[in-house]
Structure 1
Amino acid sequence: MTIQRWWRNRESLSRVVCDLLAGEFARLRPGGSPPAHPHRWPETLPLGPDGVGADSLDLLQLASALNEALHLHRSGIEDYLLVHRTVGDWLDVCEAALGRFDGALSFRTSGSTGEGKRCEHPLAALEEEADALAALLSGGAEAPRRVVSVVPAHHIYGFLFTVLLPDRLAVPVVDGRGTSPGGLAAQLGPGDLVIAHPDWWGALLRSGAALPGGVTGTSSTAPCPADTARGVRGIGLARLVEVFGSSETAGLGWRESPDAPFRPFPWWRFGDDGRVTRHLADGTVLSATLQDRLSHDEGGFRPSGRLDTVVQVGGVNVSLAAVQAHLAGHPNVEAAAVRLMRPEEGTRLKAFIIPARNAPPREELYRRLTDWIEATLPAPQRPRALAFGPALPVNGMGKPCDWPLATDR
């Protein structure tokens, strides 16, 4: 089977570009109204105030983000983005630029947490992984007939599984993000391949929906809780393939049982110094420093926690340090601590606040902070429970510790 260049599929190019622009626009306008036509922008839609809603400064940032991701500067025609102002125009510029150079793409870590880090990947490396995934996911009792995605296409997981993989499977892509997990389950059938993340699978379980036979799922962005992985099989999912990786590395390994270690993709070599390396066919050597602790056993590996302060909220990487610094920057806040809620508390962030000396009474402070949080932070970064006190919580050893959710303000 001959596989065309990914960007020659106009629908795939549109999903990548529109998801990237929508994500960048949301970053530029935290707490603001979402762009028009979420998840699917018509090509005639203007990018300016009478369409998506971007002003001249927004357009400059959107063009820069697109240039960075698709390496449009390698073609020398990226400036045309600022001349043309509809979605279709920008797709045309991208298509022309990628026709000159399409050998690399860049993805950002923790895209909703602030600056993030740009991670460049040779297209050949991503295509090699997509080939391996196609072989892995074609091995079930039902041949894949559709890819049903609930993840954005401009992150590395979405690009691999909803852009490169469908071309290799020769199947269409259905965007399921506008439908609830339970509602989407009712629309699935044998041969459907659902591309999702742990929180989505957990929400599907809570919906009480059942799945028809022959549906396969994938999960990535974080290890899927064992109870969730077992639970979705209990409601009819034929296979759940977990892929572990990062924006820096793409996929590192996969597994089908929550009790098993991840099986490394064969091209990776794991060093004792926390680095991984990979050799491409053209002699290029790729290497990256892992952000997760890995324990190796049984010919595979098991994640054992992050080495940094990034957690998962709604399938999105969120930097606790970035949110904490943001809260501490409020004039009525002396200091702040931020943590992910315990499982019995919820799945969002919580914050402990030391009020500044000039802070208003507690109820007024709570109102000010919650309004400010809504206006200045994207949804995954917003603490949903605030506690207050004269000092940050510490344990008997004087080290930072957890705190219960506040029962009052």
Structure 2
Amino acid sequence: MANSLNHHFIVTVIGDLIADELSRMRPAESEHWKRRQWHEDDYLISKNQVTKDDGDEAVAVDSLERLALAGRVVQFFHMGDSGVEDYLLRRHSLSEWAEVVLKSRQVHSQNLTVTTSGSTGQPKACEHSWSTLVEEAHAFIRIFNNEYDISPNRVVSLVPSHHIYGFLFTVLLPNLVDIPVIRGFKAYSHVRNGGLRAGDIVVGFPELLTQLSTEIPPLPPGVLFMSSTGHCPPGTLHQLYSMGAARTVEVYGSSETAGVGYRSEPEDNYRLLPRWRSHDSNPQCIVDRQTLLTFDLPDSAAWKNDSEFQIKGRVDKAISIRGTNVFPDHVADCLRQHPDIADATVRPLVADEGTGLKAFIVLQRHSENAMTEQSLKNWLSERLLAAEVPQHISFGKQLPLNTMGKACDWAIDKP
């Protein structure tokens, strides 16, 4: 069982890979693709072959898009040189693609390659050995059973399956213990409208859990919430506890490392997972106990002892928005490419302003009356992911500066 991956889980991952790749190639359609629920009967069809008889299960792509989609699946499932990867271009349905993946895993590598969710250009590919991922999933099963006295009966997934966090907890873990998974709007509805039950593992991310924490009805006993991809506000976790959550577990890690540490109280230190040990001389690194390879942490860490640490902030200045690592400087660079913009700065919204980004724009003189906030958002939506498009855009004759002449924050106009 540890070496196998069920067909329906592979279909789920393939669907999320297709959605992610189409979102990158067609930014204006990103929300459509990421909301879509994928099924075994969904299939790819050439744009010039679509007819009125093709239903919702048909996904029209051109030849270059089809190559990119197949390439993404080959990369994720480590199918290169398997000898069967070319069959993806001869098959059409997600079920058929899953069969090709299964064959590749039988005759070739079972390792996986995930990509970072950041927005700094080409995503970084991060390879993980299958055995290491299986060991991590088993480690969390033991934590749930032995430390939290919770036996997982069902996973309620609010995250995509193709990132390392989603794969570990909404694909690999339920695959190992043979429990069902609900996804998409059905999963959201279960959380929001009282459909949870004892043994549910709700896998979410900070922004969505913050929203849901004030909307959910009282919880039944034995429900565990998980959060990752970024800092979850302590108030959110305390609110979930007040509604009856048995545990709220924050997982710290990255695409490069998979899980590194965990905690169940926001004031606690993170505890290292069994795979890792702290570096002897560099607090910004951890060491794989088995391979002795060293990995950089993406955040500034303060170690309390050899196995416990606190996180002090991102090193690379990324922020997590709806589960996607977004770089404000990258968004500002994109804005400066607009021919009517002289300069721009981008910052995250502060707590009382909402979640997401805000931008301040200085227009070229000839354009001061020719651009609106909505027209600029439309322009950005064709070039950036939805999470990267600022929620609020302000205009002025110069970028905001404080009395010392340094860049500073600015207030937004609230509706």
TM-score by length of 2: 0.90
Residues 11-52 of structure 1: CA deviation (Å, up to 9, x unaligned)? 111111111111111111001272498122333533544422
Most deviating of 90-99 and 236-245 = 90-99
What code does the residue aligned with 2:60 have?
G
CA contact (8 A) 1:182 1:208 kept: no
Residues 325-352 of structure 1: CA deviation (Å, up to 9, x unaligned)? 1111111111211111001000011111
Residue among 6, 13, 18 paired with 2:15: 18
CA distance in 2, matches of 1:178, 1:321: 36
Cα distance change of structure 1 residues 21 and 91 upon mapping to structure 2, 3 Å threshold:
same
Residues 1:229 and 2:227 are matched in the alignment: no
What code does the residue aligned with 1:102 have?
S
CA distance in 2, matches of 1:26, 1:217: 28
Cα distance change of structure 1 residues 97 and 288 upon mapping to structure 2, 3 Å threshold:
same
TM-score by length of 1: 0.91
CA contact (8 A) 1:113 1:323 kept: no
CA contact (8 A) 1:113 1:381 kept: no
CA distance in 1, matches of 2:263, 2:202: 16
| Structure 1 residue 150 displacement after superposition | 1.0
- What's the counterpart of residue 123 of structure 1? 130
Cα distance change of structure 1 residues 172 and 329 upon mapping to structure 2, 3 Å threshold:
same
CA distance in 1, matches of 2:389, 2:366: 24
CA distance in 1, matches of 2:119, 2:9: 23
Most deviating of 220-229 and 174-183 = 174-183
Residues 138-173 of structure 1: CA deviation (Å, up to 9, x unaligned)? 234442211111111110001111122113333222
- What's the counterpart of residue 54 of structure 2? none
The 5 A counterparts of 1:304-323 are 304-323=312-331
CA distance in 2, matches of 1:13, 1:375: 30
Residue among 56, 63, 69 paired with 1:56: 63
Residues 168-205 of structure 1: CA deviation (Å, up to 9, x unaligned)? 33322221444545754511111111111111211112
CA contact (8 A) 1:188 1:212 kept: yes
Most deviating of 179-188 and 97-106 = 179-188
Most deviating of 21-30 and 138-147 = 138-147
The 5 A counterparts of 1:67-146 are 67-111=74-118, 114-139=121-146, 140-146=148-154
Residues 107-126 of structure 1: CA deviation (Å, up to 9, x unaligned)? 11125664221111111221
Please report the RMSD computed on the Cα atoms of aligned residues, expressed in angstroms. 2.2
Residues 1:31 and 2:28 are matched in the alignment: yes
CA distance in 2, matches of 1:259, 1:127: 29
Residues 277-334 of structure 1: CA deviation (Å, up to 9, x unaligned)? 2033xxx343322210011115511111101121011122112222111111111111
Residue among 34, 43, 46 paired with 1:45: 43
- What's the counterpart of residue 330 of structure 1? 338
- What's the counterpart of residue 277 of structure 1? 287
What code does the residue aligned with 2:25 have?
L
Cα distance change of structure 1 residues 376 and 258 upon mapping to structure 2, 3 Å threshold:
same
What code does the residue aligned with 1:388 have?
F
CA distance in 2, matches of 1:304, 1:242: 15
- What's the counterpart of residue 53 of structure 2? none
| Structure 1 residue 384 displacement after superposition | 1.0
What code does the residue aligned with 1:332 have?
D
CA distance in 2, matches of 1:407, 1:137: 43
| Structure 1 residue 396 displacement after superposition | 3.6
- What's the counterpart of residue 302 of structure 2? 295
CA distance in 1, matches of 2:260, 2:369: 50
Residues 1:159 and 2:167 are matched in the alignment: yes
CA distance in 2, matches of 1:397, 1:98: 60
| Structure 1 residue 61 displacement after superposition | 1.1
Percent of residue pairs identical: 36
CA distance in 2, matches of 1:39, 1:138: 31
CA distance in 1, matches of 2:192, 2:358: 30
CA contact (8 A) 2:193 2:216 kept: no
| Structure 1 residue 390 displacement after superposition | 2.4
What code does the residue aligned with 2:412 have?
L
| Structure 1 residue 249 displacement after superposition | 0.9
SS where residue 221 of structure 1 aligns? coil
CA distance in 1, matches of 2:402, 2:113: 42
CA distance in 2, matches of 1:302, 1:117: 26
SS where residue 151 of structure 1 aligns? coil
CA distance in 2, matches of 1:278, 1:297: 19
Residues 218-276 of structure 1: CA deviation (Å, up to 9, x unaligned)? 11111211111111010111111111011111111000111101011133233343222
What code does the residue aligned with 1:57 have?
L
- What's the counterpart of residue 374 of structure 1? 381
Cα distance change of structure 1 residues 53 and 285 upon mapping to structure 2, 3 Å threshold:
farther
Aligned residues: 401
CA contact (8 A) 2:226 2:251 kept: yes
Residues 1:267 and 2:272 are matched in the alignment: no
CA distance in 2, matches of 1:175, 1:83: 29
- What's the counterpart of residue 350 of structure 1? 358
CA contact (8 A) 1:46 1:52 kept: yes
Most deviating of 152-161 and 167-176 = 167-176
- What's the counterpart of residue 253 of structure 2? 245
Residue among 208, 212, 236 paired with 1:204: 212
The 5 A counterparts of 1:175-190 are 175-180=183-188, 184-190=192-198
